[in-house]
């Protein structure tokens, strides 16, 4: 039986054109045969994500490639120490870390469903979600507007909330796909890189970030970016049928996230609240 070979293209999506170019160059240095395509998009902006989706579909058509996506990795994330607002009026940290992933995933679901092989969604979260012991789902929390009105911006708390929302969203999507009979077609997993020394703490005062990394290193909890990527790769290339899992630590290891993140009622409320909130944006017309 003849099985046509479908070209595999890796897409890099980011806000900075310079960083995208550097990323493409580094990948090419490692593998000159890699087929890569970069798209510039602000993942905290609903309108920008919609434009990216349209650009991707058009590029696939113009390139005579199959209109599908096999693996989607939502890795965009920021740790902002001061309050900022997106074009839609959301807190930028929640807008980037959670709402952006929600919008992008929902918009790309048709392309994921159109894949000739089972497709996978990997949402990157953080162990810091465990710090949240209670969550009252309302638009003020989901949009982050509640935190924007605080006298002192609780950036650590906002980050923790955003990562919990990523988990709740992921498990709710897994449940919905299962109910629709599509769990064999699209697998949804979560990856936690652990404590990795990256530039995500660039806004934190240098003395604090240095001390934190020093202590974590002494406790042997600090990982290199090379080790941090292992859980993401494990989730992206997990055995067929693996869905709704939390990957952590590399070597295919999965663990249980917090009990709160597994609350199905809370996850459904978050999903509905997010959809209602987004109905007033261009996303509502998609």
Contact at 8 Å (CB) between 101 and 125? no
pLDDT at residue 178 tops 90: yes
Q: State the Rg of the chain over Cα.
A: 19
Q: How confident is the model at residue 7 (pLDDT cuts 50, 70, 90)?
A: low
The neighbour count for residue 212, using CB atoms within 10 Å, is: 14
- Residues 26-48, mean pLDDT to the nearest whole number: 95
Is 111 part of any domain?
yes
The proportion of the chain whose per-residue pLDDT surpasses 70, expressed as a percent, equals 95
222: left (phi over 0), alpha (psi -120 to 50) or beta: beta
Of the candidates 275, 266, 227, the residue with the CA atom closest to the CA atom of residue 248: 227
pLDDT higher than threshold 60 for residue 160: yes
pLDDT band at 148 (very low <50, low <70, confident <90, very high): very high
Instruction: Name the average pLDDT for the chain.
Output: 92
pLDDT value of residue 3: 37
pLDDT exceeds cutoff 80 at 42: yes
In which element (H, E) is residue 120 found?
strand 119-124
Longest distance between any two alpha carbons in the chain, whole Å: 67
DSSP letter assigned to residue 127: G
pLDDT grade for 224, boundaries at 50, 70 and 90: confident
More confident residue, 242 or 214: 242
CB neighbour burial string for 20-48, b if at least 16 within 10 angstroms, e if fewer? beeebeeeeeeeeeeeeebebbbbbbbbb
Q: Is the pLDDT of residue 201 over 70?
A: no
Is the pLDDT confidence value at 105 over 80?
yes
Confidence at 4, pLDDT banded by 50, 70, 90: very low
Range of the domain at 177: 72-193+229-285
- Evaluate whether residue 53 is within a structural domain: no
Predicted pLDDT at 39 = 97
| pLDDT score of 21 | 94
On whether residue 188 sits in a domain, the answer given is yes
Tally of structural domains, the chain? 1
How much is the average pLDDT of 218-235? 85
Query: Is the whole-model pTM more than 0.85?
Result: yes
Say how far apart CA 77 and CA 215 lie, in whole Å: 23
Q: What is the C-alpha to C-alpha distance for residues 259 and 244, in angstroms, rounded to an integer?
A: 14
Per the model's pLDDT, the better-predicted residue between 30 and 211 turns out to be: 30
pLDDT of 38 higher than 50: yes
What is the CATH number for 180?
Answer: 3.40.50.720
How many residues are recorded in the chain? 286
Give the ranges where the chain is alpha helix by DSSP (H).
Answer: 17-30, 46-62, 92-94, 100-113, 139-142, 145-148, 155-179, 206-218, 225-228, 230-236, 264-278
Q: Which residue has the tokens 């997990």?
A: 238
Say if 62 falls within a structural domain: no
Buried-exposed string 98-130: b where 16+ CB fall within 10 A, e elsewhere: bbbbbbbbbbbbebbeebeebbbbbbbbbbbbe
In a domain, 14, yes or no: no
Ranges of H-type helices in 185-229: 206-218, 225-228
Query: Could you tell me if residue 12 is inside a domain?
Result: no
Q: Which of 26-30, 50-54, 205-209, 227-231 has the lowest mean pLDDT?
A: 205-209
Q: What is the mean pLDDT of residues 22-29?
A: 94
For residues 123 and 286, the model is more confident at: 123
């Amino acid at each position: 039986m003849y099985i046509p070979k479908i070209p595999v293209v890796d897409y890099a999506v980011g806000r900075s054109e310079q960083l995208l170019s550097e990323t493409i160059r580094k990948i090419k240095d490692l593998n000159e045969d890699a087929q890569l395509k970069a798209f510039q998009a602000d993942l905290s902006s609903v309108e920008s994500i919609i434009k990216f989706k349209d650009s991707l579909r058009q590029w696939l058509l113009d390139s005579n490639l199959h209109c599908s996506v096999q693996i989607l990795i939502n890795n965009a994330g920021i740790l902002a120490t001061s309050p900022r607002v997106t074009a839609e009026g959301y807190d930028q940290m929640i807008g980037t870390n959670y709402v952006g992933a929600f919008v992008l995933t929902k918009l790309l679901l048709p392309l994921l469903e159109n894949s000739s092989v089972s497709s996978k969604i990997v949402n990157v979260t953080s162990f810091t979600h465990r710090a949240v012991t209670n969550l009252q789902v309302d638009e003020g929390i989901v949009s982050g507007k509640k935190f924007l009105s605080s006298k002192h911006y609780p950036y650590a708390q906002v980050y923790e909330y955003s990562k919990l929302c990523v988990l709740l969203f992921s498990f709710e999507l897994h449940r919905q796909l299962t109910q629709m009979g599509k769990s064999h077609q699209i697998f949804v997993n979560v990856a936690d890189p652990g404590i990795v020394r990256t530039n995500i703490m660039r806004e934190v005062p240098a003395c604090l970030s240095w001390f934190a990394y020093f202590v974590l290193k002494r406790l042997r909890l600090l990982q290199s970016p090379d080790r941090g990527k292992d859980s993401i790769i494990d989730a992206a290339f997990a055995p067929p049928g693996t869905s709704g899992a939390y990957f952590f630590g590399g070597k295919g290891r999965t663990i249980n996230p917090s009990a709160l993140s597994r609350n199905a009622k809370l996850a459904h409320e978050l999903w509905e609240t997010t959809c209602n909130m987004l109905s007033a944006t261009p996303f509502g017309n998609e």
